[in-house]
Amino acid sequence: MDKVSIGLLGFGTVGTGVVRLLSKDRERLEERTGTKIHLEKVLVRNKNRPRKVLIDNRKLTTDVHEILENPNIDIVIELMGGIENPYRYILRALRNKKNVITANKDLMASCGEELLIEARKNHCDLYYEASVAGGIPILRSLTDSLAADRIQKMIGIVNGTTNYILSKMSHEGLPYNKALASAQALGFAEADPTSDVEGLDAARKMVILSHLAYSIPVRLDDVKIMGITDITSEDIFYAQKLGYTIKLVGIAEVSNGDIDVRVEPTLLPDGHPLASVDNENNAIYVYGSALGETMFYGPGAGEGPTAVSVVSDLISVIRNMSLGVTGNHIFLPRKELHPRKDNLVESRFFVRLHVKDQPGTFSSITDLFKDQGISLERLYQEPVPGKEIAEIAIVTHVASKVLFEKTFEMLKKLEVVLEAKYLRVERG
């Protein structure tokens, strides 16, 4: 095989990064693959828009058929975003026996299984390392490097936008809105940040990770999702007082043969390796049955990191092509286990209460926990200045979720309790 030809769908940030890497490191990549790598066509919306990287204008096209139906093109790299068009284009590319690389988590989380089956049927590769945690090679690690182990649990900080916002709130005491505005100003958050801050983006990544780690076809509907829009700087402040950091984490856990996938703001003990993963960085903590605990840390997005993942996938596809083994590395779920929407049995919990600052308040609350058989691990109380109100922050010991929720409902009904909220606490 002397040469491979590539068609690129989309020329935004990541597309620019891929073109940059292919041109800057051409010699090294060609030496590594033993093949000339030719960028044949790039699908764009507007051919006349200025580009951040040098490209022959004749390679640009607004007609996707010039790529999908082009017999010269061996590999299609999809970097458009969205679901409907990429879905149709990738399906068409695979049916035309083209190998595909995509960074599209939305697509892979919603139609990944179908596309992977189509790829295998056509003896084509479909790689998507860049779809989860940009520059962190977590997908390949799950399918190859940790293949021998039984994964029991994964905890991931897999959304850079929310991690940036929570880091700003934690370190600078900013309120949510200001932290969001700062993220938007730096390009870490979209103008419409909904899918990030509501936890949907993280949930999509957890769907992809769960599929690879557990070989179970989890669907987005199976994931219990809670975003960070209700997290206040006071929540963060009182969590810190008790020795915890609040992070938006995705958790996928197998217990008693059921799988539970959740995305929710969670308190991590300050010593937990994930607690110090700051700003727009991502990290995935994996608990393996034989392996123990291992963590993958790095940039979760951005032109360079995501392009490295895409082009590393490209090197793998080219290698498979020259060995004549494309379509053989497709990993499909094998188990029919039905995931449960909420499998959480027991946990520590963080409770914040605004209470009337009057004699007996404190003991009426601790008595309630005691009567319900929930013991308290840490507790912090202080008056709210200028009001007849006190703040109480509590971290419980491990308790059954059912019992805790019942107790929390009783707490809210106490005459002295004015406001109450709770979050889950991860073990150290």
Smallest gap from residue 32 Cβ to a copy of itself (A): 7
Site map 61..100 versus a copy of itself, x via CB under 8 A: ----------------------------------------
Task: Give the angle 109-333-200 at the CA atoms, nearest 5°.
Answer: 20
Kindly give the pairing relationship between strand 75-78 and strand 151-157. Answer: unpaired
**Binds a copy of itself (CB under 8 A): choice among 149, 198, 234, 258:** 149
Whether the CB-CB separation of 94 and 123 falls below 8 Å is answered with: no
For position 357 contacting a copy of itself by CB under 8 A, the verdict is no
Q: Which of residues 240-299 bind a copy of itself (CB under 8 A)?
A: 273, 276, 288-299
Min dist. Cβ of residue 289 to a copy of itself (A): 8
Residue that the structure tokens 């996928």 belong to = 252
305 binds a copy of itself (CB under 8 A): yes
**310 vs 399, which CB is nearer to a copy of itself?**
310
CB 287 within 8 Å of CB 293: yes
If binding is defined by CB under 8 A, does position 413 make contact with a copy of itself?
no
Cβ atoms within 10 Å of 113's Cβ, excluding its own = 14
User: Which of 205, 401, 412, 413 is an active site residue?
Assistant: 205
Selection from 360, 383, 374 nearest residue 410 by Cα: 374
The reply to whether 135 sits near a copy of itself by the rule CB under 8 A is yes
Residue 232, amino acid: T
* Contacts of residue 181, Cβ cutoff 8 Å, sequence gap at least 6: none
Helix/strand/coil (H/E/C) assignment for every residue in 384-410: ECCCCEEEEEEEECCEEHHHHHHHHHH
Q: Is 308 in the site for a copy of itself (CB under 8 A)?
A: yes
Query: Nearest distance from residue 302's CB to a copy of itself, in Å?
Result: 8
Of 181 and 315, CB closest to a copy of itself: 315
Alpha helices in 173-217 (DSSP H): 176-185, 194-197, 200-214
* Whole-angstrom Cα Rg for the chain: 24
CB of 182 to a copy of itself, least distance (A): 20
Q: Which of residues 3-22 bind a copy of itself (CB under 8 A)?
A: 17, 21
Q: Which stretch binds a copy of itself (CB under 8 A): 183-191, 253-261, 318-326, 380-388?
A: 318-326
Per-residue b or e along 135-159, where b marks 16 or more CB atoms closer than 10 Å to that residue's CB:
bbbbbbbbbeebeebebbbbbbbbb
From 61-69, 75-83, 97-105, 314-322, give the range in contact with a copy of itself by CB under 8 A. 314-322
Q: Of the two residues 245 and 396, which places its CB atom closer to a copy of itself in the complex?
A: 245
Backbone φ/ψ region at 97: left (φ over 0), alpha (ψ -120 to 50), beta: left
How many CB atoms within 10 Å of residue 258?
14
CB-wise, 146 or 395, nearer to a copy of itself?
146
As annotated, the active-site residues are: 205
Note the residues at the interface with a copy of itself (CB under 8 A).
Answer: 17, 21, 25, 28-29, 31-32, 129, 135-137, 140-141, 144-150, 273, 276, 288-299, 302, 304-305, 307-312, 314-316, 319, 323, 325, 328-329, 334
